Copies of this chain bind each other. A is one copy, B any other.
Amino acid sequence: MGQEDVEQEDAGPQDVAHEQGRGRTLAELSEEALLDEIFPLLAGGPEVVVGPGDDTAVLATPSGSVIATTDAMVRGRDWRDDWSSGHDVGAKVVAQNLADVAAMGGRPTGLLITLVADVATPVAWVLDLARGVGEAARAAGCTVLGGDLSSAQPGTLVVSVTALGSLDGRSPVLRSGAHPGDVIAVAGTLGLAAAGWRLLERGRAEADPEAVALQRRPSPPLAQGRIAAEGGATAMLDLSDGLLRDAARVARASAVCLHLDSAALAADIARLEPSMGPALARECVLAGGEEHSLLATFPPDRVLPAGWRAVGVVGDGAGVTLDGHPERARGWDHFAPATD
């Protein structure tokens, strides 16, 4: 892998894409020729013993364990080409995976990327994707270890990522560790990604550019995962499918009830009211997916780490309540019909 060109390539992604990729599609390149163009856009790192190009990568795991997760994005389901560039998709699929690593209290170390693409896909799009992946990986201090390229039927475009990470000797923070009396806390924004999606759908992106930008490229509070683990978090997950649905997952795994307090969410709702109106702002905060902020529970005697704010308390029982009223676990499900 030629690392020396990375900075230069990153300097002008638009120009490079136009210059190198004009009109070419995957059908005109061999797999090896395409990989030769992709590899320089990705990054190496200190824990990589063997990088891309052999049968497998080899990653050092000095702490004696590795954490692993996988998450895919599908064109037409997880993104629309008129809303998101290849760069956006690369950044988003990496962010989704790294949020899962953070939610265990982990530090990301390596990524494997699979692209399944219609051969009519422009090479420029693929190189833009690689730049988005590479940038997001470097920003998080982790490395692209390898991947796979496959052709597919017309129209298909799937990007699948596996993320590996290290706990650096800490215990993983599971979903199942919440206890009655614990404080429920959130790190990161709520509802912006969902609001951005609705604004894009209605052609009103200008009404909240920050929310739209976050829908295109999530910005999970990755470092807060380790901070929470070191701060005594008893349970944690990333908010991928909405606050209520994800809170219900902690409740189920821990056999407790999560009591959420809407007053603690007032600022989040108010943030979205100017563009969404009060009802939809509330819905985005409570049930909006793809935010990838972190939800954790902390023992009541702990001071919440900086970056975390209390949104409720854990009690006996099951499920989730909002201001004392039971809430159904609405939010995003990949196969079931949408609930909103």
Contact = CB atoms under 8 A, between A and B. Distances in A.
A187 to B, nearest CB: 14
Interface string A111-123: 0111010010000
How many chain copies?
A: 2
A334 B112 contact: no
Interface stretch (A57-65, A210-218, A272-280): A57-65
A307 to B, nearest CB: 18
Given A74-B116, A116-B72, A65 B54 contact: no
B103 A55 contact: yes
A71 B335 contact: no
Given A31-B335, A119-B335, A151-B77, A59 B65 contact: yes
A148 B31 contact: no
A164 interface: yes
Interface in A292-340: 333-336
Given A31-B336, A151-B77, A172-B50, A57 B61 contact: no
Interface in A7-49: 26-27, 29-32, 34, 49
Contacts of A104: 50, 54-56, 58
Contacts of A149: 334-335
A6 interface: no
A267 interface: no
Given A31-B333, A56-B100, A335-B31, A146 B77 contact: no
A66 interface: yes
A86 interface: no
Nearest to A152: B74
A64 B67 contact: no
A92 to B, nearest CB: 14
Given A30-B336, A54-B172, A146 B66 contact: no
A69 interface: yes
Contact of A165 (B53, B56, B72, B78): B56
A152 B158 contact: yes
Contacts of A29: 335-336
A219 interface: no
A237 interface: yes
Given A55-B238, A237-B55, A335 B27 contact: yes
A3 interface: no
A148 B160 contact: yes
- Report, nearest first, the 8 A-B pairs whose CB atoms are least far apart: A56-B69, A55-B103, A162-B162, A61-B61, A55-B100, A30-B336, A70-B112, A56-B67
